[in-house]
Structure 1
Amino acid sequence: MHTPTPRPARLATGEWLDRFLASDPGLTRLRTATQAVISVGLALLAEWIYVQTAHPLTVPAPTPGAETINRAAGVMMLMAGAMVGMISTFIGPMYATARQGIGALLVLPASLFAGIVIGLGLAPYGTIGLIAMVLVLGSTGFLRRFGANGFTIGQGLFMGDFLGMFLGRLTDLSGLGWIAGALAIGAAAAIFSYVTLFLPSRATAVQRLRRSFLRRADVVAATTVDLLDHPGSEALRKQQVNQLIRLNETALMIDAQLAESPRLPVGTTARELHRLVFTAELSLANAARFARAMTRLDVPAEALALARDPFLAIARRDAAGVEKAGERLAEWIHASSIEGDARVVLHRFVTSVSDFARVIHVLKNQRFEHSARPVTEEFLPAVTLAGGWLPGSSKVSATASEEGSHRGLHPSVRLGIQMTVAGVVAILVGAIVSQERFYWAVIAAFVTFMGANNAAEHVRKGVFRVIGTVIGVVLGAVLAHLVGQRPYVAIAVILVTLFVGMYMMRISYAFFTAALTILIAQLYVQLDEYSEQLLGLRLFETVVGAGAAVLTVIFVLPLRTGRVVRVATREVVEALSKLVGPAILRIRDSAYEVPLGAAARDLDASFQALAAATEPKRAMLRVPGSLGGVEQQWWYAANAAHSYARDLLVDSAHLEVIDGSGGDDVGEAGQVLIASMNELRRGLGEHATKRIYTRSASLFEHIATDLDDAGRLTPRQLTLRDLQLIDGSLAVLATAAGLEVRALDTPADPAV
């Protein structure tokens, strides 16, 4: 294999800015972080005015320690308002309509108040208060059964109970009126931020996501050029695969927003924009994948150099340049003597580049409407977003929970039991470390369960919480000494730190944990209770709480990731069969014209869920053993099957049907493949399966050999090749899943 002479890989200006913006589809992280800072900032300002004018929870000046008490009272009022503002940032995006979102932001302070009543009322009673805290903690899991409303109420109850125990050092139930006022002020700030910032930007979601899609396409192009320049780099190969997954993620996010978006490109319907984005993503992903395949084949250096040019044009957003570069490579292929797999890959590469050039010219030149329009078109997306993001492994984890060894156990029941047990352990061990600060352990256990769906995800989140706390302790100590008793500077540090933590949280939860630790350090400085020993104690309590959560999910009703991955893979295979079956019918019957785009998008959504479920095994911080799920071979086989299915979608769109005896042979081969896919799907649902996957690739190969276009790169020959490759990747997957794989001519075992 020859390595081409490297040329400048990236010609687009502002490449680093593009990469930065491409990492945040639809600027969702930026919007969330900005809303959080503004909500908290407004709440702090309003609470400061409240404290300065109403003097809540203060005591008369002659009272011993009045200055310290009154200072603490003011800080706690600010903390109550800030808590409402920060939690509301996570709550609002969970609801589809403005009315639902505002309603939830009113329910949040009410549930916080109820939790404060519990915590404040039981604070003097020691053990009873701790039992109540455990029960409230467990209830946050059980309340998940009621969806977003249950999550909102559970969050409010627990955080309110925690705040109530904290406030017990300053007041009793007689101070509830002042506390209610602080919560109302925080809720008003949160609703104002939600209405003025979040809701207006929701109308432009499709426009922002389309911009992110184009930027992610630029990044895919730049990385592919790098890979063609350095064909032996495994790191670049993995990087390109990950970026293609992100490109597919953005396309699905656009799909999810199309159903309710009041602003679309001028003269374009939701279905039309869906088709354009789908075609662009499919063709670019295929082109990038074929370029990656070239680096493993005996492709001449001249062809690799020509293959770079379309991606350089893509990075420049030059649709005409993309098409011309593809034509130059097509001319080279026609004049060359290259044969075999290399010729097939090059041919498919040129076809994909040509498809992308046609659609990207339209997509990038669209102009969006300036005013909102009524949403009248019925469009059914393949996926529903959760808080502005794809749902990850949440749905497949829920299915795995209900189908696992504890059948009939609703995920919320499992979670409620686990959180209760973890809360008990955190309190018992945390109290041994410190009887005054044990609640840090409880908080650590609580947040370890937030946003994680199975054992491996909980373990990773617990580890990241400890790592983030270590970083936060160091930075918090430095900033505490630099800021000192300067409240305005402290507020600025808190807001900046909060923004960074919220913005980076999707990249790593450690950033958010570090930000919280810095925030807590500033809080205790203002309470005049700060010390390095206090931050060290927080680290120990965090280890206790995270450890309690991790041990609980491992030993108490564990939902192991291996089980979740099998469920996710089963859904991928089921979605794949719904695409392969109609494609086979299309090969035999020209009258069969059922669009396969919807089936392909369903397959993409299932594949994204599988990608999320296998993330703990593939991530930089890997979780070993059964908690981590499966070996890499499993992921590679599923990824390959998904890719070959997308080839099938393109190749079967315009082909000459195979009729007569050849058509009958296609039908028989298709029946074998579909039957094997069904066996694989059933086997994935069984712990120790004895099912058999029967290979069908030889049947499709025999059909291709007997056709009059054998040896040529016609659409039907490529389609038959796709079916062979799909069968091969599924056979690897079946082996990894424990099925026996047989060729058609393999004799049955008489003992079976």
Structure 2
Amino acid sequence: MAAVILAEWIFARVAHPLTISGDSATAAMENRAAGVMGMMAGAMVVMVSSFAGPMFGSIRDGLLGLALLPCAMFVGVVAGLALEHVKVVALIVMVAALGGAGFLRRFGAWGFVLGQGLFMGNFLGFFLARLTDVSGIGWIAAELAIGGAVAIVAQLVLFYPSRWSAVQRLRSSFLGRADGVAAATVDVLDHPNTQRLRVRQHRKLIRLNETALMIDAQLAENPRLPVGTTAAEIHGHVFNAELALANAARFARSIAISQVPDRIRDQVREAMVAIGHRDGDVIERLGCRLRERLRDDAVRTSVSDDVLVVLHRFATSVSDYGRVVSAIGRQRFEPYWERLKAHDVPEQERFEASVALVAGWLPGSSAVSATASKEKAAQSVTARLDPSVRAGIQMTVAAAISVVVGTLISHDRFYWAVLATFVTFMGANNAAEQVRKGAFRVIGTVLGVIVGAILAHLVGENVPLSIAVILVSLFIGIYMMRISYAFFAMSITILVAQLYVQLAEFSADLLEMRVVETLVGAAAAVVTVIFVLPLRTSRVVRVATREFLDAMSAMVSATARVVREDEDYHRLESASRDLDVAFQALEAATSPSRAMLRVPGTFGGVKQQWWAAANAAHSYARDLVADARWCDGVDGVSGERLDEAARAMNSSIAELSEGLSEHRSRRVYVRSASKFERVAAVLDDHGRLTPRQLVLRDLQLIDGALAAIAASAEIEVQAVDTAVASR
């Protein structure tokens, strides 16, 4: 942004675009406005490019896409200027441009660039109409080209090289988030009855899992790796570290509210503190020491059997994490100049990830929302539509509403309402996300008006200071946007305030008008997504839960094969990662409702118990992966019974999945926990804490969590004996 402002300023000083001759105050003001608008045009190109660049998988496609952006904006500007005096047609074109941006989502990054460019260019044309007409389009083309050139250079110099070090940066982020998990767990141990701290620890565990999945996705994109390692090795280290720490944190949360001797509790806390210090040898030693202490008869008799199991699992998880952290600490990346040397990874060494990133991030709810949009729900009258078609129709309707109402409020500033409608739909996949983004847009605008008014009076017409304020506010807005879109909306409003100061049009009434128009645009979007082809949160969550259940079924099958046939453990590891991906999608699908509606018992048509049960099932599945690694084989009659129990469980999962699809059909979830209990009872290690006994216990706990999901979805739950009798 700083570079394009400088480049546009130099261009204005040298070429004097869109200026008029004369020494009058009016001429000076018009020429100043021409320079400001040129900077704005270039800044808009760079702003959109910063979001579009990461969407392209290759450098070649990215550069072509960034070159297409100013061309698309140019077409939009021409339309805006050419139709300046045909107001009705101009408004229709603006509505069509906004709706077209929704339809163009079908074409991924290319559609994003084209749709954003056409609409933003048309939006810019309304601004520039005050300075020129179609005769000045050559100067505008030059200013857009400068913006495009700066965007391309910035991608080549600043952003594309950083892709090669993505694994190194993400690994540092992973370790940082691991430290956060350890610190949050220590807080839980110190204040075991504080629900806020337990929720905070859980949130940090989800973020840790998110980072691990992002590392996997980057490993699949021909990355730079530590010297002498492969992508599969890095994946193994990250997987084992995340699994061990996540389990240790959950076990510590359970220990915090259990009756254990103070000296044992102190050792648990000491281990979590050591994890935060990243000293692998110390961590491993503390885990081993705790395991030795648990062999003491005095300790064993002072705690219940269930707590003793949790303590053993905690100690084992701590030791495992210590070993992995030591291995990670010994890895070194090659120097920067070596990283810039390209080399191909042999095909047989390429890593296949369970997830692909979208613009550098996990896809969130986009995939499950798309599936929900294309499916015909049993109790819904909404037609099956491609997500781009649904978005295009909704955006067109919302744009029409915002144009009509916005024009009635202000004939000159209505485009703020249209812009608010536009951004409400960007990056949102379903009704709940769109409502949340609309709310953040309004909140951010109100805060931006307050801060912008204060800064406008403090800065005045000081151009260098005004540019500094704009750059700082944009940095904060973009940096904090992952936390809340309100920060970005606030930063844009501050930018607008500074812009109108330089155009000598700033007033309190102007900022008040911006709030009103923003409220109109956001409300138009919210009303549309609720009443026009709505994609309900409950529908998206059902699809996300189905995919979670399918991944869980695959994991149960993989576990049975590993335990029964002693198959490759990596299959179970891969199934676990698929489950993580599905869980992250479910978390993203429920996140807007959980954040916006704190109503006890429900959120957005989905019961809180639903999310809690899915979260518990995911946690038990992580325990299952850890325990299956060291599990001895189960063969003979016991093995056959295990296969039968796994098939029964998968059959029940299929029933639950079908029940989530067909609301009106009668489905029954049959509990299979007793079948696994019978397998455990006939094994020669029954009653002892062995890995295969833990595996069977994990499967029983997963069955209980899935039964809770079924109950939340109003699907009948029966025990095995009851189900047999009913048949």
TM bin (shorter chain): over 0.9
- Offset of residue 626 of structure 1: 8.4
Equivalent position of 1:697 in the other structure: 673
Equivalent position of 2:429 in the other structure: 453
Q: Partner of 2:669: helix, strand, or coil?
A: strand
The one of 715, 722, 727 aligned to 1:746? 722
Q: Does 1:294 align with 2:255?
A: yes
User: 2: CA distance between counterparts of 1:290 and 1:64?
Assistant: 73
The one of 363, 370, 374 aligned to 1:391? 363
Matches within 5 A, 1:264-275: 264-275=225-236
Q: Does 1:382 align with 2:354?
A: yes
Please say if residues 558 and 575 of structure 2, whose CA atoms lie closer than 8 Å, have aligned partners that are also in contact: no
User: 1: CA distance between counterparts of 2:198 and 2:601?
Assistant: 25
Letter in 2 for 1:367: R
Q: Does 1:736 align with 2:708?
A: no
Percent identity over the alignment is 59
- Offset of residue 625 of structure 1: 10
Cα pair distance change 1:183/1:621, threshold 3 Å: farther
Letter in 2 for 1:492: A
User: 1: CA distance between counterparts of 2:283 and 2:613?
Assistant: 31
Cα pair distance change 1:359/1:748, threshold 3 Å: closer
User: 1: CA distance between counterparts of 2:61 and 2:723?
Assistant: 62
Please say if residues 561 and 567 of structure 2, whose CA atoms lie closer than 8 Å, have aligned partners that are also in contact: no
Cα pair distance change 1:594/1:519, threshold 3 Å: closer
Q: Partner of 2:630: helix, strand, or coil?
A: coil
- Offset of residue 658 of structure 1: 2.3
User: 1: CA distance between counterparts of 2:389 and 2:224?
Assistant: 41
Cα pair distance change 1:60/1:627, threshold 3 Å: farther
Q: Does 1:596 align with 2:572?
A: yes
Letter in 2 for 1:537: M
Cα pair distance change 1:482/1:392, threshold 3 Å: same
Q: Does 1:360 align with 2:325?
A: yes
Cα pair distance change 1:665/1:384, threshold 3 Å: same
Equivalent position of 1:260 in the other structure: 221
Cα pair distance change 1:520/1:414, threshold 3 Å: same
Please say if residues 569 and 629 of structure 2, whose CA atoms lie closer than 8 Å, have aligned partners that are also in contact: no
Q: Does 1:89 align with 2:58?
A: no
- Offset of residue 657 of structure 1: 2.1
Please say if residues 108 and 152 of structure 1, whose CA atoms lie closer than 8 Å, have aligned partners that are also in contact: yes
User: 1: CA distance between counterparts of 2:273 and 2:616?
Assistant: 26
Equivalent position of 2:238 in the other structure: 277
User: 1: CA distance between counterparts of 2:568 and 2:76?
Assistant: 60
The one of 126, 143, 147 aligned to 1:186? 147
Q: Partner of 1:693: helix, strand, or coil?
A: strand
Matches within 5 A, 1:156-167: 156-167=117-128
User: 1: CA distance between counterparts of 2:219 and 2:558?
Assistant: 26
User: 2: CA distance between counterparts of 1:220 and 1:588?
Assistant: 35
- Could you report, residue by residue, the CA deviation over 1:252-299 in whole angstroms, capped at 9, with x for unpaired residues? 111011122441011100001000100000011001011111123222
Q: Does 1:608 align with 2:569?
A: no
- Offset of residue 339 of structure 1: 3.2
User: 2: CA distance between counterparts of 1:261 and 1:497?
Assistant: 35
User: 1: CA distance between counterparts of 2:289 and 2:634?
Assistant: 32
Cα pair distance change 1:624/1:501, threshold 3 Å: farther
Equivalent position of 1:315 in the other structure: 276
Equivalent position of 1:571 in the other structure: 547
Cα pair distance change 1:54/1:73, threshold 3 Å: same
Equivalent position of 2:65 in the other structure: 104
Cα pair distance change 1:229/1:64, threshold 3 Å: closer
The one of 171, 189, 192 aligned to 1:228? 189
Cα pair distance change 1:318/1:125, threshold 3 Å: same
Q: Partner of 2:295: helix, strand, or coil?
A: helix
User: 2: CA distance between counterparts of 1:46 and 1:471?
Assistant: 31
Q: Partner of 1:595: helix, strand, or coil?
A: helix
Equivalent position of 1:507 in the other structure: 483
Cα pair distance change 1:714/1:470, threshold 3 Å: same
Q: Does 1:477 align with 2:446?
A: no
Q: Partner of 1:741: helix, strand, or coil?
A: strand
Equivalent position of 1:206 in the other structure: 167
Letter in 2 for 1:506: R
Cα pair distance change 1:54/1:520, threshold 3 Å: same
Q: Does 1:344 align with 2:342?
A: no
- Could you report, residue by residue, the CA deviation over 1:668-710 in whole angstroms, capped at 9, with x for unpaired residues? 2111101001111111222334111000001111221222211
User: 2: CA distance between counterparts of 1:431 and 1:625?
Assistant: 42
Letter in 1 for 2:324: V
More moved, 339-348 vs 264-273: 339-348
Please say if residues 561 and 627 of structure 1, whose CA atoms lie closer than 8 Å, have aligned partners that are also in contact: no
Cα pair distance change 1:292/1:620, threshold 3 Å: farther
- Offset of residue 63 of structure 1: 7.7
User: 2: CA distance between counterparts of 1:517 and 1:502?
Assistant: 13
User: 1: CA distance between counterparts of 2:409 and 2:327?
Assistant: 63
Q: Partner of 2:21: helix, strand, or coil?
A: coil
User: 2: CA distance between counterparts of 1:590 and 1:532?
Assistant: 73
- Offset of residue 123 of structure 1: 1.4
**TM-score (norm. length: structure 2):** 0.95
Q: Does 1:324 align with 2:289?
A: no
Equivalent position of 1:420 in the other structure: 396
User: 2: CA distance between counterparts of 1:217 and 1:690?
Assistant: 44
User: 1: CA distance between counterparts of 2:581 and 2:569?
Assistant: 23
Letter in 1 for 2:639: G
Q: Partner of 2:85: helix, strand, or coil?
A: helix
User: 1: CA distance between counterparts of 2:307 and 2:429?
Assistant: 43
Which portions of structure 1, spanning 4 or more consecutive aligned residues, are displaced by more than 4 angstroms? 591-594, 620-627, 747-750
Cα pair distance change 1:402/1:626, threshold 3 Å: farther
Matches within 5 A, 1:2-151: 40-61=1-22, 65-151=26-112
More moved, 365-374 vs 139-148: 365-374
Equivalent position of 1:656 in the other structure: 632
Q: Does 1:239 align with 2:200?
A: yes
- Offset of residue 62 of structure 1: 6.5
Q: Partner of 2:697: helix, strand, or coil?
A: helix
Equivalent position of 1:4 in the other structure: none
User: 1: CA distance between counterparts of 2:570 and 2:217?
Assistant: 22
Cα pair distance change 1:266/1:657, threshold 3 Å: same
More moved, 678-687 vs 631-640: 678-687
Letter in 1 for 2:115: G
Q: Partner of 1:619: helix, strand, or coil?
A: helix
The alignment covers a number of residue pairs equal to: 712
More moved, 713-722 vs 675-684: 675-684
- Could you report, residue by residue, the CA deviation over 1:104-143 in whole angstroms, capped at 9, with x for unpaired residues? 1100000000110111111110111001100111000000
Gaps of 5+ in 2: none
Please say if residues 262 and 374 of structure 1, whose CA atoms lie closer than 8 Å, have aligned partners that are also in contact: no
Letter in 1 for 2:314: F
User: 1: CA distance between counterparts of 2:67 and 2:719?
Assistant: 63
Letter in 1 for 2:125: G
User: 2: CA distance between counterparts of 1:524 and 1:91?
Assistant: 27
Please say if residues 445 and 545 of structure 1, whose CA atoms lie closer than 8 Å, have aligned partners that are also in contact: yes
Letter in 1 for 2:135: S
Please say if residues 142 and 412 of structure 1, whose CA atoms lie closer than 8 Å, have aligned partners that are also in contact: yes
Letter in 2 for 1:246: R
Matches within 5 A, 1:483-502: 483-502=459-478
Letter in 2 for 1:399: T
- Could you report, residue by residue, the CA deviation over 1:703-749 in whole angstroms, capped at 9, with x for unpaired residues? 21222211111011001101100100000011112211000111579
User: 1: CA distance between counterparts of 2:568 and 2:458?
Assistant: 73
Aligned alpha-carbon RMSD (Å): 1.7
Cα pair distance change 1:123/1:468, threshold 3 Å: same
Cα pair distance change 1:691/1:223, threshold 3 Å: same
User: 1: CA distance between counterparts of 2:89 and 2:148?
Assistant: 30
User: 2: CA distance between counterparts of 1:347 and 1:258?
Assistant: 33
More moved, 284-293 vs 659-668: 659-668
**TM-score (norm. length: structure 1):** 0.92
